[in-house]
């Protein structure tokens, strides 16, 4: 059974770190980055810890 980090909610089921049976991440911490010179909204940030589970 995959561990659940109750401090990191996640609904991205395609990520290999998604806790599958609940909407949480299984990592101890994540890295959030910006994808614009200055992040002004949610769309200009990304979870840099994401890894695809899809082959």
Number of CB atoms found within 10 A of residue 27's CB:
18
**pLDDT tens-digit profile of 23-33?**
999 999 999 99
Cα three-residue angle 54-42-12, rounded to 5 degrees: 25
**pLDDT tens-digit profile of 4-48?**
999 999 999 999 999 999 999 999 999 999 999 999 999 999 999
User: Please, what is the end-to-end C-alpha distance for the chain in angstroms?
Assistant: 21
For residue 55, what pLDDT is reported? Answer: 75
């Amino acid at each position: 059974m995959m561990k659940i980090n109750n401090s990191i909610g996640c609904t991205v089921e395609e990520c290999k770190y998604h806790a599958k049976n609940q909407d949480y991440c299984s990592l101890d911490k994540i890295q959030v980055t910006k994808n614009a010179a200055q992040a002004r909204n949610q769309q200009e940030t990304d979870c840099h810890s994401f890894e695809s589970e899809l082959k």
